[in-house]
Structure 1
Amino acid sequence: MARIGILYSHVMKAAEKVAAEGKNPTVDSVREALGGTGSKSTIAPLLKRWKVEHQESVVAAETGVPAELLLAVKGLYQKLQADVGLQLAQASEAQRIALQGAAERLEQSQADNRNLSQTKLALAADLAQTKDELSQLRAEHHSGAITLAGLESDNAGLRARLADRAAEVAALNQQLAQARTQFEHYQHATAAQRTEERQAADQRVARLEQDLAGARQHGQIQQAALTQRETQLAQSQLEQDRWREAADALQGDLAAMRPERDQLAYQFKEASAAGAALAGKLATTQTALTEARIALAGRQHQAELLGERLRQAENKENSQEAARLTLIEEKAALQAQLASRKR
């Protein structure tokens, strides 16, 4: 129980006295200044009230700093508090503007990502279509190559047949030339032999006539010799007839070979025409194959361009995604800074 008469005013005066002496006003020092009266339980709350109301004096007493200096420091502290509050408000506004800009950039990045996704889908569809067309062109190219190989094989076969026919015609022409040469040689030999035989016969007749005129006594011998000569002449005539029959047979063979030669010439002409037609068809096929190769190269180049555009779109999409993540991280950092400053 506090004694009656210990009031706040008493404690206030005692505390001011202790503080004026440069001491720290404590419960014991104030009780001593009161003359040792009053309980600590009564003085303590009253002294606490005084310290709250006179913080400058308490601090000055505790630290040994003058009250005027404490007031100046307090004013400076309050000014710093105001400046810090203003800077915090400005920083909060700047952070709000930065967050709003980051949100707008994030929204724009998301819109760009959606556009890039649509562009990517369109490019993927174009690439798939181009790949289908490329597959069709490759199939057509393969079919054309197979057709060309077949035509080249047929052309080679016809050329081989044509070469065989030409060789046969050349062989027949050579045989015909040989037969003509043999026939001409036979005609010349037969004519020379007949001329020689006629000359010999004329000479023999002249001699026989001379011998007949000069010596008839040898008539029988000469007659026998004449008979022998006539027999030889008959044999020569028979041999000449055989040569003539052989020549006629050769002429018949030559006449029989002419239709075959004409047929071979006609076949050679037809084979030449077929070869020319095949050459034209081969040239047309090669032209179509060249055009298909050019179209295939164009499609491949277009596919490469589409692939490059697709890769660029993917790279741009990755860049947009990285920028979006960076903006999200910046936003989170700004929000964390704002939260720490508010605290």
Structure 2
Amino acid sequence: MARSGLLKSDVKKARDLLLAQQINPSVDAVRIALGNTGSKTTIHKYLKELDDDTGHPSPSISESLLDMVARLAAQLQVEADSQMDEIRSQLHEKDREHLEAFSEQKNALVALNSQVVQLESDLAREKTSAAAVQECLQQEALGRHTADQQVVHLKERLSENESHRQSLEEKHQHAREALEHYRQSVKEQRDQDQRRHEQQIQQLQAEMRKLQQSLVVKQDEVTRLNQDGVRLVADLSHARKSAYEQQTYGRQLEQKLEALPVIQQQHYALVSKLEEKDQRLKELTTQISDATNRAAELSKAIHRLELELASANATLAVQEATNAHFRAHLDRQ
């Protein structure tokens, strides 16, 4: 049964039209006249029936061979078109996949480059910060050295003040002992004078005058000693005040020295962070190298597919030329 409603009358009309144009009514010619519709088997069957009905002689062996060759050429053309369509579809799909992969790799490369730029900027800032911290540490070290020297100097001054204070205390103690000794001597002398008062009244009066003179001298000496004692007490108070001030300044310097390890820890943390940034930069550089190699491989694969496509197009051109040669030969027949 004919496909798409092909009737024997349609085949007869196409056959008669070809005969009127003095064209051999082969199966392919009739199918072309029918608008490339209908099965070649059905058309061949109707043509055979029409030949039997009209008594038209059967085609010669050459015509049968040409018809067979034409059918084979058409079949080859169909198969070649199908294969080429499949090859083109595969190539297009591979091209699309390769382009997508290349685009992804390119985007990844751009992202990695951006990360590298950002990391380089962070690294520059970290290096600047590390340099600032290093300078601060050097200044602190210099300040610490200066403070150590000041502490040593203050300790020396404190030792000198302590020695001076001890000397003043010794002098004050000697003055007190001398005053006490003088008082004791005066008391003993008075006791002696009291015992000899009745017996030696004349001598006592003379001695009293001497004693009065001596007492005036002694009083002057006592006054002088008291003044020296007051001055020594004032010097001792001033020395104690100076020592207290030096101790307060020494404690302030010790507090500054205690704060120095915190700055050193911050420096070590910045150095560790800088090393981590350097390691991350090395990893990103390796990733960029891998992405570049992958892009080169994709480019080679695309070039190879382009060569295969060119080869397939050349094969198709040869087949089309062969088919055109067969069609020209059939048309001449």
Q: Deviations over 1:292-332 (max 9, x none)?
A: 44543454344334333323322221221222223234334
Q: Deviations over 1:163-197 (max 9, x none)?
A: 32122112111221122123323432443355356
Which of 122, 136, 139 in structure 1 is aligned with 2:132? 136
Which of 288, 291, 308 in structure 2 is aligned with 1:317? 288
Aligned to 1:103: 99
Inter-partner Cα distance in structure 1 for 2:311 and 2:222: 129
Q: How does 1:1-343 map to 2 (within 5 A)?
A: 90=86, 93-192=89-188, 194-196=190-192, 198-199=194-195, 201=196, 205=199, 230=203, 245=217, 248-249=220-221, 251-277=223-249, 279-280=251-252, 283=255, 286-287=258-259, 289=260, 292-335=263-306
Inter-partner Cα distance in structure 1 for 2:211 and 2:87: 143
Report the alpha carbon displacement of residue 162 of structure 1 after superposing the two structures with TM. Answer: 2.6
Inter-partner Cα distance in structure 2 for 1:269 and 1:326: 86
Matching residue's letter, 1:149: H
Contact 1:130 1:299 in 2 (8 A): yes
Contact 1:162 1:272 in 2 (8 A): no
| Residues 299 and 329 of structure 1, relative CA distance in 2, 3 Å threshold | same
Matching residue's letter, 1:103: L
Matching residue's letter, 1:300: V
SS of the residue corresponding to residue 314 of structure 1 reads helix
| Residues 165 and 137 of structure 1, relative CA distance in 2, 3 Å threshold | same
Contact 2:91 2:309 in 1 (8 A): yes
| Residues 256 and 189 of structure 1, relative CA distance in 2, 3 Å threshold | closer
Matching residue's letter, 2:281: L
Q: Deviations over 1:36-74 (max 9, x none)?
A: xxxxxxxxxxxxxxxxx9xxxxxxxxxxxxxxxxxxxxx
Inter-partner Cα distance in structure 2 for 1:196 and 1:177: 28
Inter-partner Cα distance in structure 2 for 1:319 and 1:252: 100
TM-score by length of 2: 0.56
| Residues 109 and 122 of structure 1, relative CA distance in 2, 3 Å threshold | same
Q: Deviations over 1:122-176 (max 9, x none)?
A: 2212211221122122222322332333234324323322332122112111221
Contact 1:109 1:320 in 2 (8 A): yes
* Structure 2 residues without counterparts, runs of 5 or longer: 1-61, 63-71, 316-333
SS of the residue corresponding to residue 130 of structure 2 reads helix
Contact 2:134 2:267 in 1 (8 A): yes
* Identity, % of aligned positions: 15
CA-based RMSD of the aligned residues comes to: 4.6
TM-score by length of 1: 0.54
SS of the residue corresponding to residue 256 of structure 1 reads helix
Inter-partner Cα distance in structure 2 for 1:145 and 1:153: 12
Inter-partner Cα distance in structure 1 for 2:168 and 2:137: 45
Inter-partner Cα distance in structure 2 for 1:169 and 1:271: 10
| Residues 244 and 85 of structure 1, relative CA distance in 2, 3 Å threshold | farther
Inter-partner Cα distance in structure 2 for 1:250 and 1:116: 97
Inter-partner Cα distance in structure 2 for 1:194 and 1:179: 22
Inter-partner Cα distance in structure 1 for 2:227 and 2:286: 88
Inter-partner Cα distance in structure 2 for 1:137 and 1:179: 60
Contact 2:175 2:225 in 1 (8 A): no
Inter-partner Cα distance in structure 1 for 2:113 and 2:268: 29
Report the alpha carbon displacement of residue 96 of structure 1 after superposing the two structures with TM. Answer: 4.2
Contact 1:158 1:271 in 2 (8 A): no
How many residues are treated as equivalent by the alignment? 245
Aligned to 1:222: none
Inter-partner Cα distance in structure 2 for 1:160 and 1:250: 36
| Residues 236 and 104 of structure 1, relative CA distance in 2, 3 Å threshold | same
Q: Deviations over 1:215-255 (max 9, x none)?
A: xxxxxxxxxxx89x959x96899589759846752651342
Q: Deviations over 1:242-288 (max 9, x none)?
A: 5984675265134224224413422431442354145336525754x
Contact 2:151 2:250 in 1 (8 A): yes
* Structure 1 residues without counterparts, runs of 5 or longer: 1-52, 54-74, 206-225
